[in-house]
Amino acid sequence: MIKKHLNQNAVKDQWEVYQNKAKAVWKSYQKEIVRTTAGVVVACIVSVGGAAMIQPNAYAVSYNGELLGYVEDTALMDAALQAVKDSVSQETGVQEVAVDMAGLDVERTRVKTRSTEFATAESLTALLLEREAYVCEAYSIVVNGTPVLGVASEDDANAILEAVKNSYSQGNSKIISVEYKETVEILPSDARDVPVVKDVGSGLNYILTGTEEPRTYVVEQGDTLWDIAHANGMSSAELIAANPGFDPNRLKIGQTLNLVAMKPFMTVVITEEVTETESIPFTTQYTNNSSMYKGQTSVITAGKNGSKEVVSKVVSENGIVTSKEMLSETVTAEPVMQTAYKGTKALVYTTASGKTVSLSNPLASIQISDGYGASRGSRRHLGVDLRASKGTPIYAAADGLVTKVSSTGSYGKLVVIDHGNGVTTKYAHCNSFNVSVGDTVTRGQQIATVGSTGNATGNILHYEVLINGSNVNPANFLN
Ligand SMILES: [Zn+2]
């Protein structure tokens, strides 16, 4: 792909040869005009190979054997050649541009001035540019032997590669190594063989995306990934692919998204030590508060998250992390513990009519031996079993009416209290009763003692809470 490294001096030599030749021709031409006008010689007959030739009055300009046109004045040729150099220099940023003198041929000739349309400097410039009649030595970034991008100088090429690396770095890091999966070189090359960019920024975009000016979109409020993708003729997957490292679940207002698929020419593998600041969540120390309901909390003194600096070794390929390993962790600010009240008051049940019912513990000390819903063969445990020694007092969970006192079946000795508002509690496996059916009880009043009657496996209180006839987990009402 790379053309031979043309020797700038050789080109200059050719240019001088041409100019000297042209000057000589021009001088002799002027002499002839002088002679002609002086009337000393009316017609100058030049004998070439025995054939007669009429006096030349123009120059034929050819490139690689193709006649481009006639000029009357070599100054016009000079202007055209300078314009070619300036134009290429302007377009590529390369200062040293030479005209390909080897292919250029300027020959004295005779034309019929009336019927000949002479070339202008502009027309010659255009024709020469069209035929790339110049030598422009650029530097190319060559990937696996293929020049992908040309720039004016080796420095610019290096700056572009540096920018490519930086754009893929995770940031806030110490770069340990940068490697390419491909063979990447900077080599002198002919600007005619490779797309040439004038500045480092365009070069960076070109290397990353394959185009000098990638289209982007800035995320606005209310945007969804789908909206953005479809408004720009892309699928969501294409949009995601065009933005490596972008988390589609975290679309941020003001975020710039690439609308052109990233087609990097190379794979940059970066190993770096990335330093990130992470938050250390504060802990909360609770103080029980019996005037607040269970589950309620109230901050006494606010806590504050601490922070730590975490250094990780991160390996990424074109910005996408392929491995991350924590190296060290330094606490920069200790978290401040929060203090808060925690409610212990029994939970309330809100009835359909909006009334609330709260239940207090049926035993002074709660120790659950078997939870609600535990398997009982083909059935589920409808209450909680609370461990206590035989004879421990059992208290009414709330005000209510004793609707059942019985001593049969698997429940053994059982008390059932209707608290109104659809709430019922059951106390089973009792040892003795303190109430009878029809008694009105108040919250905390002793109704029975713990025993092991019925199918109890030990001294336990089997405690059930029913709301509108359905069992609920009594643990929710224990505190
Ligand atoms: Zn039970």
* Domains: count for the chain: 4
Average pLDDT over residues 70-78: 90
Res. 335: pLDDT tops 50: yes
* Ligand 1: centre distance to CA 462 (Å): 4
pLDDT of residue 346: 63
Question: 472 and 355 in one domain?
Answer: yes
Instruction: Give the domain extent around 386.
Output: 348-477
Question: 314 and 357 in one domain?
Answer: no
Sequence-distant (≥ 6) Cβ neighbours of residue 150 within 8 angstroms: 92, 138, 139, 140, 141, 189, 191, 193, 194, 195, 196, 197
Q: Output DSSP code: residue 474.
A: G
Transcribe 192-219 into DSSP letters: GGS-B-SSHHHHHHHHHHSSSS--EEE-
Question: 278 and 252 in one domain?
Answer: no
Cα–Cα distance for residue pair 372/170, rounded to 1 Å: 52
Question: 290 and 408 in one domain?
Answer: no
pLDDT of residue 355: 67
pLDDT of residue 282: 96
* Ligand 1: centre distance to CA 415 (Å): 14
pLDDT of residue 293: 66
Residue 163 falls inside a structural domain: yes
Residue 3 falls inside a structural domain: no
- Angle between helical axes of 154-168 and 200-209 (0-180°, round to 10): 50
pLDDT of residue 246: 79
Residue 434 falls inside a structural domain: yes
* Ligand 1: centre distance to CA 450 (Å): 13
Question: 241 and 281 in one domain?
Answer: no
* Ligand 1: centre distance to CA 475 (Å): 13
Cβ-based neighbour number of residue 124 at 10 Å: 23
* Ligand 1: centre distance to CA 458 (Å): 11
Where b means 16+ CB within 10 Å and e means fewer, 351-384 reads eeeeeebbbebbbeebeeebebeeeeeeeebbbb
- Domain end point (choices 75, 103, 132): 132
* Ligand 1: centre distance to CA 346 (Å): 21
Cα–Cα distance for residue pair 8/95, rounded to 1 Å: 12
The whole-chain average pLDDT of the chain stands at: 84
Quote the pTM value.
0.51
461 neighbors 448 (Cβ within 8 angstroms): no
Percent of the chain with pLDDT over 90: 47
Question: 218 and 251 in one domain?
Answer: yes
End-to-end CA distance of the chain: 82
* Ligand 1: centre distance to CA 414 (Å): 12
CATH assignment of the domain containing 146: 3.10.350.10
* Ligand 1: centre distance to CA 403 (Å): 20
Q: Which two tokens stand for residue 107?
A: 């020959």
Residue 217 falls inside a structural domain: yes
Between 260 and 69, name the one with better pLDDT: 69
309-330 pLDDT, tens digit per residue, is: 999 999 999 888 999 999 999 9
Residue 304 falls inside a structural domain: yes
Res. 278: pLDDT tops 60: yes
Average pLDDT over residues 347-372: 80
Residue 471 falls inside a structural domain: yes
428-471 pLDDT, tens digit per residue, is: 999 999 999 999 999 999 999 999 999 988 999 999 999 888 89
* Ligand 1: centre distance to CA 463 (Å): 7
* Ligand 1: centre distance to CA 362 (Å): 14
Q: Which two tokens stand for residue 432?
A: 């003795």
269 neighbors 179 (Cβ within 8 angstroms): yes
pLDDT of residue 264: 80
* Ligand 1: centre distance to CA 421 (Å): 24
Res. 40: pLDDT tops 60: no
Reported confidence tier of residue 273, pLDDT bands at 50, 70, 90: very high
Choice among 36-50, 93-107, 212-226, 337-351 with the minimum mean pLDDT: 36-50
Question: Which three-class secondary structure string do you get for 70-139?
Answer: EECCHHHHHHHHHHHHHHHHHHHCCCCEEECCCCEEEEEECCCCCCCCCCCHHHHHHHHHHCCCEEEEEE
Residue 2 falls inside a structural domain: no
* Ligand 1: centre distance to CA 471 (Å): 13
Reported confidence tier of residue 42, pLDDT bands at 50, 70, 90: very low
* Ligand 1: centre distance to CA 381 (Å): 6
Reported confidence tier of residue 38, pLDDT bands at 50, 70, 90: very low
Res. 295: pLDDT tops 80: no
Reported confidence tier of residue 67, pLDDT bands at 50, 70, 90: very high
For residue 157, give the nearest of 118, 187, 112 by alpha carbon: 187
- Domain end point (choices 132, 150, 178): 132
pLDDT of residue 374: 83
* Ligand 1: centre distance to CA 404 (Å): 18
* Ligand 1: centre distance to CA 451 (Å): 12
Question: 369 and 294 in one domain?
Answer: no
